Amino acid sequence: MMSSSYKRHPRLETRARVARCDWPDCGAACCIYGAWVDKRHAEDILAHAAEISPHMEPEHADPCCWFDGQEEDDDHALSGKVVHTTILPNPEHYGGTSCIFLRKDMRCALQVAAEYTGQHPWRFKPFYCILHPLDLDDEGFITLDDLEVMLREPASCLRPAAEEVQVRELFTEELGYLLGKPRR
């Protein structure tokens, strides 16, 4: 789902007193409601189940349970369709639910599997997971939701900071990956 046709929204050029989370303190807010995954990407994840399963929580290692069967049209998906990851009750997570790929150590099993196999950490990670807390607006611009709301969210990917920074600088790696530019 990466595309060089995406553009940065001017909102990312603003300055704010904000910083990224400091894993593991972030609490995986991005995982509360699961994720929409391009149908082709979900098929790729399932095709690599042998690499991913060992990094899942044992009770969720069976790939037949990784996606919940929901399917929707999505203009940003290469296949035009997205499927949803299974959402589980999770009393340890701040919202009481989480994506099936979230491990007890608050790491994504998909990312852990990629790192373990020597691949880019986002090799298996869904587009919308890489994008978070960034978002796409209706015109396909990569943007950021309301900072004040995000800063109040428990387990947020963003934190208040003493120093002002240019917002896009917080997301250099994600923007480079999503826009097809080389990583620094």
In the prediction, which pLDDT does 24 show? 65
Mean pLDDT computed over 68-74? 95
Q: What share of the chain is helix, strand, coil (3-state, %, to 5)?
A: 35, 25, 40
* Mean pLDDT value across residues 84-102: 93
Q: 34-69 pLDDT, tens per residue?
A: 999 999 999 999 999 999 999 999 999 999 999 999
CB–CB of 132/118 below 8 Å? no
Which amino acid, 108? C
Contacts of 39 (CB under 8 A, 6+ apart): 71, 77, 79, 81, 82, 83
Q: What single-letter DSSP state applies at residue 118?
A: T
CB atoms within 10 A of CB 55: 21
What does the domain layout of the chain look like in residue ranges?
Answer: 7-178
Return the higher-pLDDT residue of 7 and 107.
107
Enter the tokens of residue 103.
């491990």
Integer CA distances (angstroms), 19 to 25, 115, 140, 158, in order = 13, 25, 25, 6
Q: What is the pLDDT of residues 148-174, one digit of tens each?
A: 888 888 778 888 899 999 999 999 998
Q: Where are the alpha helices (DSSP H) in the chain?
A: 39-47, 49-52, 109-116, 127-131, 147-152, 172-178
- Per-residue pLDDT at 23 exceeds 70: no
> What's this model's pTM, rounded to 2 decimal places?
0.88
Residue 2 to residues 88, 101, 122, 159, Cα–Cα distance (Å): 28, 21, 12, 27
Q: Which SS3 state, helix, strand or coil, does residue 7 take?
A: strand
